[in-house]
């Protein structure tokens, strides 16, 4: 089955399920397995690959470079500039380094990893320069809350922001209070990082296990299906084993019932008030 897609403001569509690379590229002994996992994910339709200059100090971008050899036209790349590099000249230089590590001349989506000391206007100006040169296709942000997004849109060119990548999973549902609705109102997709949590504690929850056992799937697949069911949300889980890659892909074909959604809401309650944006 073909993966559902989510449209970016530019009109370009990307798979609603991609592949993350956080913690990849940190150990040469795992390099071959990481490359193999990414290639298998691409074969299964998870062609949106998310990385950052921070991941493995550029090592994750090098893993992607090897994984996409011979398949560059089949994938969409996302990378990120660190806040301390996000001045006008610093953003351009960081992007050039990422392009070199990725072995390409174009990044489909380039993000500001989180807010730092450099004015947003400088970063946006750099993004626009990179777009005009063809180095990037679109730009966005990461770890921005509603007030940050409002400030961004007030900056010249800020309304061209294509996406906001934030932490979102069953145990981190704070964005459901306001950011998800705000993003939908502005036709700006959310990219959910760590959709399976940052450890295995969430996946051991009895309610999640009961649903998984009844459906004959894994707890991780139920948790991922929960995120993928949200309109306008793109999930980017990481997997370094072939079984895990296949498990993630199968989760996109899992539709949760209203009763299962209600059970998850009871076990992992949605927010009732504004919460500080969670980050890891």
* Numbered residues of the known binding site for substrate: 113
| Alpha-carbon span 172 to 193, nearest angstrom | 11
| Alpha-carbon span 63 to 21, nearest angstrom | 9
Q: Which DSSP string do the residues of 8-51 spell out, in sequence order? A: -TTS-EEESB-B--TTTTS-GGGHHHHHHHHHHHHHTT--EEE-
Integer angstrom CA distances of residue 14 from 3, 94, 219, 246, 280:
9, 24, 26, 19, 24
Question: Quick one: tokens of 173?
Answer: 């549902």
Give the SS3 label for residue 265. Answer: helix
Q: Tell me whether residue 177 is one of the annotated catalytic residues.
A: no
Question: Quick one: tokens of 41?
Answer: 């994910």
Residues with active-site annotation = 55
């Amino acid at each position: 089955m073909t993966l559902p897609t989510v449209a970016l403001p530019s009109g370009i569509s990307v798979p609603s399920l991609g592949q993350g690379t956080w913690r990849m590229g940190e150990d040469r002994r795992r390099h071959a397995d990481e490359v193999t996992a990414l290639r298998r994910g691409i074969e299964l339709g998870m062609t949106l690959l998310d990385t950052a200059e921070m991941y493995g100090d550029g090592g994750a971008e090098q893993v992607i470079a090897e994984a996409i050899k011979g398949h560059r036209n089949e994938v969409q790349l996302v990378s990120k500039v660190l806040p301390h590099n996000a001045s006008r000249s610093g953003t351009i230089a960081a992007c050039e380094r990422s392009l070199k590590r990725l072995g390409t001349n174009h990044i489909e989506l380039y993000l500001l990893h989180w807010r730092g000391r450099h004015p947003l206007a400088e970063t946006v100006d750099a993004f626009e320069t990179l777009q005009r040169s063809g180095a990037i296709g679109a730009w966005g942000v990461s770890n921005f809350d509603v007030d940050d997004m409002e400030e961004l849109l007030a900056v010249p060119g800020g309304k061209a922001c294509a996406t906001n990548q934030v932490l979102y999973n069953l145990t981190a549902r704070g964005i459901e209070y306001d950011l998800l609705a705000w993003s939908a109102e502005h036709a700006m997709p959310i990219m959910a990082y760590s959709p399976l949590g940052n450890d295995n504690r969430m996946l051991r929850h009895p309610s999640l296990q009961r649903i998984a056992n009844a459906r004959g799937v894994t707890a991780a697949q139920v948790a991922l299906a929960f995120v993928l069911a949200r309109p306008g949300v793109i999930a980017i889980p990481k997997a370094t084993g072939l079984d895990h890659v296949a498990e993630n892909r199968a989760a996109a074909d899992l539709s949760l019932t209203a009763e299962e959604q209600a059970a998850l809401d009871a076990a992992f309650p949605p927010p009732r008030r504004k919460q500080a944006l969670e980050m890891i």
